[in-house]
Structure 1
């Protein structure tokens, strides 16, 4: 008679994974804190450097660089393992922080933000591959729940700390301070991963990578033109139009065959998450403005509403990580909750509706995106063939970034063109989230494992 001894369940904080888990969380938190803090401080930075005309470009440059780095980092991680691109990304991220921190002019600061974007893009996609290489499949949902949780504290305290630093010390310390602690976090991550994240070391250059980087660069330029042009209202129409045309040519070369028609399985991933995430991000551009102008909230009060959404995101990821929610439920239900939350907060435009509904609404949307977002990441890793996790995660990241830029641009254009009609702008974001819910079964019921490139429906 053979006695079977059950091994204790593994955890992301068990001895084997503790160091890498702490390193992952620390690195994600620092990137998140930098993003939240810079967004708060940038008006002061631009005024002090005399560069208000480059205000939007300071954000567009980071986004554009991250699209390029995501494509490069995905294949690099597949071939050589994720630690090389993570190390390079950390160096680039720190270099960008230092350039921005010492910037004498706004032009130099924009250059620093571009370098930061290159570093952040490499880090983000390589972390996905690290998860696939280091953790067993059953822990993937819990790891991505950690990623979501790592954004909560920066979302809550980042703007406040940034405000204190700007008012009482110097805005430059926002960049310098993060640079001082990124490298120790990366070293902890390196120590914790050991040799488990290494690549095969023998693969040659990725076929067609040079062409992909060209298309990635053109896509990044198109995204920047769309974002920058949409902020200039009527004067930005030529830039906006040029960006849309360029995007129509370049983006299909980066997304999988069949993605834009939602081919069953992996090709739908970047479209599904791009629609859901883009809907929420575009809505969050209008929500603070609506709460301040229409209901008289202070900027701090409006910020608390968004913080509730971040807490909801963490809670949704935690629930999905516990394995109590099925994939299709998380995807379709999550998208429907995003739509429901935005619809509910639209009711706050009615004076008789209590402002408390705004908090409930953002909690609902946060729960929804918190369940959907990491589920897509986990399923992409599960569906990917060995050695293709990086390029699949890169396509997912590119799709999310581009769809979000377009969603924000169209929402803003509709809002402006209709004389600041909040219902029109928010209604468009609800439609995007509902479309994501419709597409969810196309992704959740794939034909089989494969790559994001060339998969047919």
Structure 2
């Protein structure tokens, strides 16, 4: 029982089966990401595709953008059930195609199909939470979703490594495909309670459509490609990519997002800016500890595990029923703590500072994100009319993915420009972490604008 409201808890008899089904699916997504990242170098080398290594990850994110956008619109026009089922089938099918591949092209094709399905699954699950749990339980559900990443972060890589060693990397993909279908079976019974929005004929136009989604995904892919190249042709890729984003991104986001309009526009922008900053820090800290401070890969990876725990601790705290702060203030506090952690990582990149400083910075930043991201998700659902929850959840995921892709491309270019040699790249790492700090500071300013100015204007701010 929810202590503050008397509402049955997420594991009460009323919600237990649904909560377990949703949690198991998020665990699948987390486990798949961590396990497949572990075996990817082996798979790519075995298929003689080392030069296409970045496409195995970048393509997954790019097609995920399309899946995110289309599933959001589909969920609003009908229910999230068809989008969720289709997403899980594609996620499993893509994993199976990659597992069966004996050449790099079909392997990458499977990864792209899997990315499309994964993007659809995440958005559809957000809408299921919004449709089937009362507002009082949503913070606890977002805390539980965060917890679903803890166990996979500890067991995913070792299990994937053991399976690859004893059998082959192919069996890791087979296992992911089987787990996806098992999640679909668990969810099937829980989706029957979802009711359509009363607009089954599709007469209400959706702003999230295939053409803008494909154009934005292509633009992001071109910018990512350009960030990894050194020839003059990358300028053409940058120009075309930027044009595609400028022309087609706006229809996919709530009006006023790029200007940080109050309410949902600022929530969407905050999600992207803060996630991009954190993902950059998380990506480059292990590389710095290994290359600059001679840590072993295992020791460097412990910083990521520690950050996962601080993230979960903060997420649990923000969901506590006796928390007296308004949720908008909790999100602002998370943004401030996240920025403080980013500042610590910048100082830790300097040669005169102890190596542990950057790890501490990641722990602090993780705690801030544990306060910030669940709050952003909860407020977005609370502010959204029921027939806009899919659209706005998709905007959150789009902002997250696109910001991470673009920032990684920028930081990759900065790092390559300042790179000297292994052990002498302190300046390059300072540039990368400073870029993340700038974005984290911008996120603090955006977090001050997430409250709706007037209750009666909620619906206006949730539409394009």
Structure-2-length-normalised TM-score: 0.92
Shift of 1:207: 4.8
Equivalent in the alignment of 1:3 = none
* Partner residue, 2:21: 23
Aligned 8 A contact 1:67 1:121 in 2: yes
- Using the alignment, how far apart are the partners of 1:423 and 1:206 within structure 2? 52
Task: Find the aligned partners of 1:251 and 1:200 in 2 and give their Cα distance.
Answer: 26
**Contact 1:22–1:189 (CA under 8 A) maintained in structure 2:** no
What is the match of residue 412 of structure 1? 412
- Does the 8 Å contact 1:155/1:307 carry over to 2? yes
Shift of 1:94: 0.9
Q: Does structure 1 retain, via aligned residues, the 8 Å contact 2:72–2:208?
A: no
3-state DSSP of counterpart to 1:87: helix
* Distance change (3 Å), C-alpha of 1:309 and 1:7: closer
Mapped contact 2:44–2:53 kept (Cα < 8 A): yes
**Contact persistence 2:73–2:207 (CA under 8 A):** no
Partner of 1:449: 458
Q: 2:360 — aligned with what?
A: 360
Give the corresponding residue for 2:444: 437
Q: TM-score, normalised by structure 1?
A: 0.93
Q: C-alpha distance in 2, partners of 1:181/1:38? A: 13
1:246-257 to 2 correspondence within 5 Å? 246-257=244-255
- Counterparts of 1:369 and 1:439, CA distance in 2: 15
State the distance in 2 between where 1:32 and 1:191 align. Answer: 23
Superposition deviation, residue 350 in structure 1: 4.4
Query: Deviation digits for residues 55-99 of structure 1, max 9, x if unmatched?
Result: 111112211221111111112112221111111111111111110
Equivalent residue for 2:68? 70
| Aligned ranges 1:279-358 → 2 under 5 Å | 279-323=277-321, 324=323, 325-350=325-350, 353-358=353-358
* 2:33 aligned residue: 35
Per the alignment, do residues 156 and 71 of structure 1 end up closer, same or farther by CA in structure 2, a change over 3 Å counting?
same
Match of 1:155 among 147, 153, 175: 153
- Which residue in 2 is equivalent to 1:428? 435
Shift of 1:453: 5.7
Cα distance in 1 for partners of 2:153, 2:223 equals 26
Shift of 1:228: 2.3
1:227 aligns with 2:224: yes
- Which segment is superposed worse, 98-107 or 410-419? 410-419
Greater Cα offset, 287-296 or 347-356: 347-356
How far does the alpha carbon of each residue in 1:390-411 deviate from its partner, in whole angstroms, 9 at most, with x for none? 1111111111111111111112
- Report the counterpart of residue 146 of structure 1 in structure 2: 144
Is the partner of 2:449 in helix, strand or coil? helix
TM-superposed CA distance for 1:211, in Å, is: 7.6
**Deviation digits for residues 224-258 of structure 1 (CA, Å, limit 9, x no counterpart):** 11222212245644323332232122211211221
Moved more, 319-328 or 296-305: 319-328
The corresponding residue for 1:400 is 400
Distance 1:332 1:340 in 2: 12
Rounded to whole Å, the distance in 2 between the matches of 1:212 and 1:93 is: 21
Residues 297-348 of structure 1: CA distance to partner in whole angstroms, max 9, x if unpaired?
1111111111111111111111111142532332222122222112213333
- Counterparts of 2:273 and 2:186 in 1: how far apart (Å)? 35
For 1:350 and 1:397, the matched residues in 2 are separated by 34
Gaps of 5+ in 1: 1-5
The equivalent position to 2:260 in structure 1, one of 235, 259, 262, is 262
In angstroms, what is the RMSD of aligned CA positions?
2.0
Write the distance in 2 (CA, Å) between the matches of 1:429 and 1:285. Answer: 11
Note if contact 2:285-2:358 (Cα within 8 Å) is conserved in structure 1: no
Aligned residues: 449
Summarize the Cα distance change of 1:426–1:344 in structure 2 as closer, same or farther, 3 Å threshold.
same
The 1-side partners of 2:10 and 2:126 are apart by 15
Is the contact made by 1:82 and 1:198 (CA closer than 8 Å) also made in structure 2?
no
Query: Which residue matches 2:422?
Result: none
Runs of 4+, deviation exceeding 6 Å = none
Alpha-carbon distance in structure 2 between the residues aligned to 1:215 and 1:15: 43
